[in-house]
Each structure stands twice: as structure tokens, then as C-alpha cells.
Structure 1
Amino acid sequence: MVTGFNTNIEYQGEVYHVQTEHEGADYPIITTFLFKGGAALLSRKSSYLSCGCSELSQNDIKEWMKEQHKRILKELVAGKIPLLIKTTVTTAATVGGTI
């Protein structure tokens, strides 16, 4: 049984960790997480029952996991995942020593 994939990847000078896991036949969901510094930035879940298949082999599940894992990596390096919201702070101009 394949339990997961883990990849560290550098993007724009920062290291991100992508983790994909499968919790077994009783829970037919594949979950991929994107972490930075231990903080989860994104999670994406997919049910392999959505394919309409009555049953998938362990190899089929492994391939599904690999594809989902690679998709997140590609989206990250393509800049398609918003990683943070930048805030611009404007300071008041000082006129005659007062604000």
C-alpha cells in the first residue's frame, strides 16, 4: 500500500514542502498539502471514487497520487498558487513637524 509522497522544492528563494497521502481503502481520499516552514498553505483533496470506477488497484491509486502531487508542484513553480497577500502600508507625510 502506498501511503504518500514528499517533496521539498525551492521557489523564489523559499523552500516549500509538498506532501501527498492516502489513508486507505476505508477512506478513498487523496490529500495533498503545501507547507512552508511547517505552516500549511494549501490542501487539496480528491476522491478516486469520482472516476466512476468500481475498484482501483494499488498501482492505479499510486498513479493518481503521483499525478496530484506533480500537479501541485507544477502549479507552485508556475506561480498559480497565491502564497501570501502583500500589504502596503502608507505612512502619513510629516509637515512642519506634525503628522
Structure 2
Amino acid sequence: MSRFVKVQKGFNSDITVRGQKFHIQTEDWGQQNPFLVSRIFANGAVLKTIKTPYDLVLRTGSVYSEQAIKQALHRQHSTIIDTLMAGAMP
């Protein structure tokens, strides 16, 4: 059985790319629903949802460490921002 720890809930960022405003929200859904979920919003509507299972980015033996979750959460959020800034949609 995996062990989970509580970490930072998520990140929120507002960016403007070529005059278009985006809000990026990335959350850790926690041990009951082990996913990192990012949503890209424009004008209040969800344009895209990216849902990544813990197992794809976090497994270190049978333990999900607080540091690994925090790093994966930040990495996913930053990657989405970088992709949008480059003019592409993830």
C-alpha cells in the first residue's frame, strides 16, 4: 500500500500571450484521487484539462514523497506556461 502525504494544493498563474489572457490552475487532487490536474482557462471557460496520474510522475518505490509531489506539481504547471508562451496549446 502506498503512503501519501499532504502537500501544497496547487498553483495559479495569469499570463497574456499575443494579447490573449489565460489563467492556468494546477492542483494536487490528493490521496483519494491521486492525480495532478491542470486547467487552462480563457474568458472563464476551460480550454483544456491535463490530468496526470501520480504513478506516471511520482513513484519512488512504494512511497509518494512530499518533495516529489511538490516538484511534479510545479513541473507540470511550468511546462504548461512555457508551452503557451511558445504559442502552442499542450
Q: After TM superposition, is the score higher than 0.5?
A: yes
3-state DSSP of counterpart to 1:68: helix
What is the TM-score when the length of structure 2 is the normalising length?
Answer: 0.83
The one of the two structures with greater contact order (alpha-carbon pairs below 8 A, sep at least 6) is: 2
Equivalent residue number for residue 67 of structure 1: 75
3-state DSSP of counterpart to 1:25: coil
Q: How many pairs were matched up?
A: 82
3-state DSSP of counterpart to 2:63: coil
Within-5 A mapping of 1:32-47:
32-47=38-53
3-state DSSP of counterpart to 1:27: coil
Identity of aligned residues (%): 34
Q: CA deviation at 1:50?
A: 2.4
Q: Distance in 2 between matches of 1:79 and 1:12?
A: 8
Runs of 4+ in 1 over 6 A off after TM superposition: none
Match status 1:79 vs 2:75? no
3-state DSSP of counterpart to 1:45: strand
3-state DSSP of counterpart to 2:26: strand
Deviations 1:9-64 (A, max 9, x none): 01111210000001111211000110001100011011121244311111210110
Single out whichever of 45-54 and 7-16 deviates more from structure 2.
45-54
Please, which runs of 5 or more residues in structure 2 have no aligned partner? 1-6
Equivalent residue number for residue 15 of structure 1: 21
Report the aligned-residue RMSD.
1.5
Q: Distance in 2 between matches of 1:38 and 1:55?
A: 37
Equivalent residue number for residue 12 of structure 2: 6
Q: CA deviation at 1:79?
A: 1.4
3-state DSSP of counterpart to 1:26: coil
